[in-house]
Amino acid sequence: MNPKLEYCGNYIEIKDFKHFIEEEKAGNPYNCVFSIKVKSGLFAGYANACEADYKEVKKLAEKLDELINFKISEFTFTEISYGNSISFIADKFGHIKIKGNIIHDGDMMTHSLKFEFIAEQTVFSDFITALRNL
């Protein structure tokens, strides 16, 4: 199952995730590849060829768990290939602003999407579980 965080028609989805264990064991931080799909309002975008260290993917799940339990108020995940980033910013009422910037690898990286939407903390648990299961 692809990790997908959806609220009121807006979403972020991690797709086509592959973890190369031998690369991780060899110390290569580029040991995971995946795509990020976003829909925010009437706009949508797709960032392919994203890369990250598996430890950072697991850290994303842990930090989101801390965020929805009011232990931290903000966390940003940035993949290391093109710098696609997603920030999660919580208020004291359980609303979380999700914002970021993604770039599509095709067409000489001329397509990008800057996005922002709000979600409630109650929709995060399935997303966090799916991230932990990658």
Confidence bin at 110 (pLDDT 50/70/90): confident
Is 5 contained in some domain?
Answer: no
Domain with 51 in it: 10-132
Mean pLDDT in residue range 20-36: 97
Q: At what angle do helices 124-132 and 54-68 cross, to 10 degrees?
A: 150
Count of domains observed in the chain: 1
Q: What is the pLDDT of residue 107?
A: 60
**What CATH number is associated with residue 17?**
3.30.2450
pLDDT tens-digit series, residues 50-107: 999 999 999 999 999 999 999 999 999 999 999 999 999 999 999 999 999 999 876 6
| Residue 69 covered by a domain | yes
Per residue in 115-129, pLDDT (tens digit) is: 999 999 999 999 999
For residue 3, tell me if it sits in a domain.
no
